[in-house]
Chains A and B, each alone.
Chain A
Amino acid sequence: MFGGFDTLIAEGECKTYATQRAAAFVEVAVPSGKDSPRARRDAAKTFRRARRVRGASKQRRGFEVPGTLVALDRLRRFAVSGTEAMESVLGIHEAALSYRARRMDVLAANLANADTPRYLARDLTFSAALDERMNAARSLAVTDARHIQTDPLASRETLQYRIPHQPSLDGNTVETDLELARYAENAVSYQASLLFASGKISQMRTALTGSR
């Protein structure tokens, strides 16, 4: 959806979230590497055409002319492909949400097996998840089609066994109260991440639509 940002982008009346009213700047972008007076003139012409298309609807901040997308420069900066744009919008909160969801499963499995003999309670640790994430970022570069691709998603085993305070006679190490407490804590953290993510989204919406 945001794939066409490498092409000519004209921007009009961008409102950034931080500077709501003072954002009547008009910036005409030209393709990188092709910055010349002539390219700038062409871009300005396209921009004027875009304004005409927009017509009377002063409220609309995002508008479209054939072959031209008008949007926030922030979006353009992020946009390499559509998915990457949205990933950058949600930032670290997306990764945090998926970590919390995974931990929710692990803790639910512990609670489900609270009465299973010889079941060993397990948990994810935040630092292990962080390490995994950092290692994925440092994966091997692939410069040839015949290179072996390292899959950043093929995670190391970050699950660890819990050391119980009071091990039970049947070899079960689940302590239901503690697991419930951790589950609740995890749920609250999930909601916090969700709150941050939805804040980001409403920020983007405000930026795209103005302060309506």
Chain B
Amino acid sequence: MSTFSTFDIAGSALSAQSLRLNLTASNLANMHNVAGDPANVYRARQAVFQAAREPFAGVLAGVDVLGIVESTAPAVERYDPGNPQANEDGIVYASGVNAMEEMANMISASRSYQSNLEVINTAKDLLMRTLSLGQV
């Protein structure tokens, strides 16, 4: 057991959750983007997490971001001939970002971030006390 592995574990979770938070922000920011071609429309992005395995101890430790996947939800078709991005039929395609889903995701990510931060703070506190063990 290494003394600082708690920081590695919780730190990996912090970076994973902050990535998730960034993706949510990106999804919400691009929610109202439209495009004249369904292939060019913005698609909601989500991070895929996987438990990281510590190579030697065999104890599961930390979290890895496997990658970022784009949503396969179909683009929302809307008739809007006044839009400069509309195609010749007057149709624009909006991204299929679900605001409710994103908000729930955001809350979950921020709660997880908080709990991991608490883990780090507690571990730091305990380590500092251990370092001063025996001092007057």
Partner of B59, one of A109, A115, A191: A109
Q: Does B129 lie at the interface of the complex (its beta carbon under 8 Å from any beta carbon of A)?
A: yes
**In angstroms, how far is the closest chain A Cβ from the Cβ of B132?**
9
Residue B111 lies at the interface, judged by CB distance under 8 Å to chain A:
yes
Residues of chain B within 8 A (CB-CB) of A187 are 122, 125-126
Closest-by-CB residue of B relative to A110 is B60
Say how far B23's CB is from chain A's closest CB, in angstroms: 13
Interface residues of B: mostly helix, strand, loop or mixed?
helix
Which range holds the interface residue count of chain B? Answer: 35 or more
Q: Which of B1, B12, B112, B136 contacts A102 (CB under 8 A)?
A: B1
Q: Select one of B1, B12, B115, B136 contacting A105, CB under 8 A.
A: B1
Given known contacts A105-B61, A117-B49, A119-B51, is B13 in contact with A112 (CB within 8 Å)? yes
Partner of A111, one of B5, B10, B109: B10
Chain A residues lying within 8 Å of B60, measured Cβ to Cβ, are: 109, 113, 119, 122
Is B118 in the interface zone, CB < 8 Å from A?
yes
How many Å from the CB of A141 to the closest CB on chain B? 27
| CB proximity of A200 to chain B, nearest CB, Å | 9
A201 to B130, CA, bound (A): 13
Set A113, A183, A194: member contacting B13, Cβ < 8 A: A113
Closest to B6 in A: A108
Contacts of B115 in A (CB 8 A): 111, 114, 176, 180
Known: A190-B126, A198-B134. A106 touches B59 (CB 8 A): yes
| Residue contact A194 to B133, C-beta cutoff 8 Å | yes
Structural contact, B12 and A112, CB atoms closer than 8 A: yes
Please state if A104 and B112 are interface contacts (CB–CB under 8 Å).
no
Q: Which of A106, A109, A116, A198 contacts B133 (CB 8 A)?
A: A198
> Across the interface, which residues of B come within 8 angstroms of A180, CB to CB?
115, 118
A53 within 8 A of B: no
Contacts of B136 in A (CB 8 A): 202, 205
Segment 102-118 of B: residues with Cβ below 8 Å from A: 108-109, 111-112, 115-116, 118
A159 on interface, CB distance cutoff 8 Å? yes
A108 CA / B50 CA spacing, docked (Å): 15
A-B contact pairs, 18 of them (CB 8 A): A97-B130, A102-B1, A104-B6, A108-B10, A108-B116, A108-B119, A109-B9, A109-B61, A112-B10, A113-B51, A115-B109, A115-B112, A116-B51, A122-B60, A176-B111, A183-B119, A184-B122, A202-B134
**Contact surface of A with B, Cβ cutoff 8 Å:** 97-98, 101-102, 104-109, 111-117, 119, 122, 159, 176, 180, 183-184, 187, 190-191, 194, 197-198, 201-202, 205
The 9 A-B residue pairs whose C-beta atoms are closest, nearest first, are A112-B13, A201-B134, A116-B49, A108-B9, A108-B6, A112-B63, A119-B51, A113-B51, A187-B122
New contact pairs (5) apart from A114-B13, A115-B16, A187-B126, CB-CB < 8 Å: A98-B1, A108-B6, A116-B49, A116-B50, A119-B51
